[in-house]
Amino acid sequence: MNDTIAAIATAYGEGGIGIIRISGPEAREILSGIFDGKIQNRRLSYGHVYDGEQIIDEVMAVYMKAPASYTAEDVVEINCHGSMVSLLKTLRLVLKKGARMAEPGEFTKRAFLNGRLDLSQAEAVIDVVKAKSDRSFDVAVSQLEGSLSAEIGNIRKDILDLLVDVTVNIDYPDEDIEQMTYEKLESCLCIIKEKIEKLLRGSQAGRMIREGIRVAIVGKPNVGKSSLMNGLLRESRAIVTEIPGTTRDTIEESVSIRNLPVYLIDTAGIRDTDDTVEKIGIEKSKEAFNSADFIIFIVDGSEPLTEEDEEIMSYLEGRKSLVLINKQDIGNRVNSRDLADRLPNSDIIETALIRGEGISEIEDKIEELVYGGQVSQSESVMVNNVRHIDLLRKAGQAIDDAKAMAARQEALDIIEIDIRNAFDNLGEIIGETVSDEILTEVFSRFCLGK
Ligand code: GDP
């Protein structure tokens, strides 16, 4: 961390401006070696980048003195014109003057190592950059502001208080201090467990908001799968045809539905076939089907159910799905009550997708799936990262184990070990107790220049 790093911080391609970011002890000196403008702390200055012989670009540059910067080190940002030629020339010059090319995420890693952000906040930086919908963006910003860190800190404080009481009772059992009874211990552990559970309850929604909700659309050919895709996309990107079996492969589209990121997967169908080309599509459909968070099954309401519908239905057992009885405009020969009896986990809607009828109800159902009555849309603290969910579960398990031992009135020093484990698990979320391998893994997901 003693060296100075540099990278292009803006996206590759043409743009109005492009930014070179430099961080480390030599940042200011490097700037003064290549820039003819005035350098003042936290002031944007106009000038030119030159390589000693000729001008490379007309730029605005800023120097931010440590620790008041993104990385908490000396940072320089040079706003060049947004052409790759200018950016690469300037970057090359910066590297020649002694900076080293930054690794992906290295700026944010330095911010973390210098204590400017905790680990969950650093991870939120990736989420802010990669957010694909309003809602995922809001959750990421709130996490970046420290909402999750504060909640984790709060639970850890409860655990620490408890650990202190337990330890004092172990070390000084005869002193005149408040006795830690097993009842008291159990009730404290219950409160802690409930707080952990509360965070976990919102995690499924959080994960879907962050990673996107995978919705697989299934149904035999010609029932209206592409029409549904189009209705949800409100533009004709999937091809609608009247020849059964044209959607040979899976088609995946990402859309924002009610501010939620959704991946719609139009499947080719999942029935057995001898056609080799169709077989490939069917394998892909099965994969999509198995990995989906939610399945929309469409039947053609204008004719009775067929063997093919029955076959698909057999795959749906036990899965949460939404059944659309489509083509209501030209008839209704499928009994929704029969279907409801056969697919008890499913909701059923009658639609006429060709006219856009039913689309908004389908959107309601997708929204309901995410928030599921357990979390509100305005919930500010939302756990959405698999690493965090995993650690919360481990902490919850350790607290459960401690509780079970307290109920059996086992020795305090044994119970203490589990309580301490829970404390460490939660510490790992914010990076207080975390290994180098995990840090490397976390920051490798960043893009260059962040
Ligand atoms: P897919 O094979 O399941 O993707 O089905 P498509 O979306 O390509 O639709 C097949 C045919 O059914 C097209 O001619 C659509 O116009 C028609 N279709 C789709 N939805 C409806 C509907 O609600 N009512 C009627 N009458 N026709 C529909």
Q: How far is CA 307 from the centre of its chain?
A: 40
The CB density around residue 251, as the number of other CB atoms within 10 Å, is: 18
Q: Which two tokens stand for residue 365?
A: 């159902």
Encoded amino acid at 86, one letter: S
At residue 238, the pLDDT reads 45
CB burial string 378-413: b at 16+ within 10 A, e below: ebebbbbbebbbebbebbbbbbebbbebbeeeeebe
Q: Which residue, 70, 54, 63, is CA-closest to 27?
A: 63
At residue 241, the pLDDT reads 46
Please indicate whether residue 239, judged by its CB atom, sits closer than 6 Å to ligand 1. Answer: no
Residue 230 CB partners (closer than 8 Å, separation 6+)? 236, 237, 238, 240
Residue 43 CB partners (closer than 8 Å, separation 6+)? 62, 63
Residue 170 CB partners (closer than 8 Å, separation 6+)? 412, 413, 416
Q: How are the residues of the chain apportioned to helix, strand and coil, as percentages rounded to the nearest 5? A: 50, 20, 35
Q: What is the pTM of this model?
A: 0.73
Please indicate whether residue 223, judged by its CB atom, sits closer than 6 Å to ligand 1. Answer: yes
Question: Ligand 1 mean position to 250 CA, how many Å?
Answer: 17
Q: Which two tokens stand for residue 232?
A: 């949800």
Rounded Cα distance between 448 and 439, Å, is 16
Q: Which residue, 277, 281, 179, is CA-closest to 225?
A: 281
**Residue 115: Cβ-neighbour burial (10 angstroms; 0-12, 13-18, 19+):** exposed
Helices then strands, each counted (H, E), the chain: 16, 12
CB distance 10 to 17 below 8 Å: yes
- What would you report as the CA-atom Rg of the chain, rounded to the nearest whole angstrom? 29
Which of 217, 220, 222, 232 has most ligand 1 atoms within 8 Å of its beta carbon, as the pocket-test mutant?
222
**Shortest-distance Cα residue to atom 19 of ligand 1:** 224
Please indicate whether residue 220, judged by its CB atom, sits closer than 6 Å to ligand 1. Answer: no
Question: Ligand 1 mean position to 423 CA, how many Å?
Answer: 56
Q: Which residue, 241, 237, 359, is CA-closest to 298?
A: 359
Strands 5-8, 15-23: parallel, antiparallel or unpaired by DSSP?
antiparallel
Question: Ligand 1 mean position to 359 CA, how many Å?
Answer: 14
At residue 52, the pLDDT reads 86
Strands 294-300, 251-257: parallel, antiparallel or unpaired by DSSP?
unpaired
CB distance 30 to 98 below 8 Å: yes
CB distance 230 to 251 below 8 Å: no
- Secondary structure (DSSP) of 376-411: -TT-------HHHHHHHHHHHHHHHHHHHHHHTT--
Question: Ligand 1 mean position to 277 CA, how many Å?
Answer: 23
**Shortest-distance Cα residue to atom 15 of ligand 1:** 224
At residue 261, the pLDDT reads 86
At residue 272, the pLDDT reads 58
Counting every residue written for the chain, the total comes to: 450
Given the structure tokens 């962050």, which residue do they identify? Answer: 210
Question: Ligand 1 mean position to 222 CA, how many Å?
Answer: 6
DSSP helix/strand/coil, 21: strand
Please indicate whether residue 132, judged by its CB atom, sits closer than 6 Å to ligand 1. Answer: no
Q: Which residue, 170, 140, 134, is CA-closest to 414?
A: 170
What pLDDT tens digit does each residue of the chain (450 aa) get? 689 999 999 988 888 999 999 999 999 999 999 999 999 999 999 999 999 889 999 999 999 999 999 999 999 999 999 999 999 999 999 999 999 999 989 999 999 999 999 999 999 988 888 887 888 888 889 889 999 999 999 999 999 999 988 888 877 776 666 778 899 999 999 999 999 999 998 888 888 888 888 899 999 889 999 899 888 887 444 444 444 544 445 677 888 888 888 888 887 655 556 666 666 666 777 777 888 888 999 999 999 999 989 988 888 888 889 999 999 999 899 989 888 888 888 999 999 999 989 999 999 999 888 887 555 555 667 888 889 999 999 999 999 999 999 999 999 999 999 999 999 999 999 998 777 877 787 787 777 777
Instruction: Cite the beta strand spans of 189-331 per DSSP E.
Output: 213-218, 251-257, 260-266, 294-300, 321-326
Which of 233, 240, 265 has most ligand 1 atoms within 8 Å of its beta carbon, as the pocket-test mutant?
240
At residue 248, the pLDDT reads 47
Please indicate whether residue 326, judged by its CB atom, sits closer than 6 Å to ligand 1. Answer: yes
Please indicate whether residue 153, judged by its CB atom, sits closer than 6 Å to ligand 1. Answer: no
**Residue 373: Cβ-neighbour burial (10 angstroms; 0-12, 13-18, 19+):** exposed
